[in-house]
Amino acid sequence: MDIRTMPAGPELDAELARALGWDEIEMPFSGRPAWVFAGVIQCTSKDFTPSTTWEGAGQVIEEMQRRGWEVGIETHPNEAHVRFYKPDGDYAEHSGQPGELLLAITIAAILALRGESSG
């Protein structure tokens, strides 16, 4: 399925976690699934919700900035538009309906991390 058409929710969030290079493991003792990067637990799978919560979307923006990406966000009456870009000219962007800003952030981040740049 093309991520550009995926709905917000756990499946899309998992696509972003994988694009970030995170692996899903089962936590010892609790058995709950969690996302791990470089041997460090990032969060439980249930708690990684960038496409549906502002807290999750904020985590993504901070992580993308840590990796050298800048973010541009525009909202208009008919559209929510997000662009992740680097000074070298690479960028990835996604637009959605009003009220879909979190979804647009998630999809644009996946496109950028996968190298599906528009620039």
**Per-residue pLDDT tens digits of the chain, which is 119 residues long:** 799 999 999 999 999 999 999 999 888 888 888 888 877 888 888 889 999 999 999 999 999 999 999 999 999 999 999 999 998 888 898 998 888 999 999 999 999 999 876 54
| Structural domain includes residue 3 | no
Angle between helix 10-19 and 101-113 (nearest 10): 30
Domain count, the chain: 1
What's this model's pTM, rounded to 2 decimal places?
0.89
Rounded to 5 degrees, φ, ψ at 67 are -90, 10
| Structural domain includes residue 22 | yes
Cα 27 off chain centre by: 23
Q: Which domain holds residue 26?
A: 10-114
